[in-house]
Amino acid sequence: MRVYFACFLFISFCLLGGTIGFAGDLSEIVLNDGSTVYGEIISLKDGVCTLRTKGLGTLEINRSEIRLIRLTSGDAPKQERTKPMKKESIPDLQTLQSTMLTDQNLMSAILSLQNDPQVQSILADPAVMAAVNSGDIATLLSNPKFMEILSHPKIREIQEQMSK
Q: What is the pLDDT of residue 12?
A: 59
Residue 2 lies in a domain: no
- Tell me how far CA of residue 5 lies from CA of 58, 128, 130, in angstroms: 35, 17, 19
Rounded CA separation 137/7 (Å): 7
pTM of this structure: 0.45
Q: Name the residue range of residue 48's domain.
A: 8-76+85-162
Q: How many domains does the chain have?
A: 1
* Residue 4 pLDDT level (bands cut at 50, 70, 90): very low
Residues 130-143, mean pLDDT to the nearest whole number: 74
Query: Does 146 score more than 50 pLDDT?
Result: yes
Tell me the pairing of strands 66-71 and 26-31. Answer: antiparallel
Residues 48-57, mean pLDDT to the nearest whole number: 83
Residue 1 lies in a domain: no
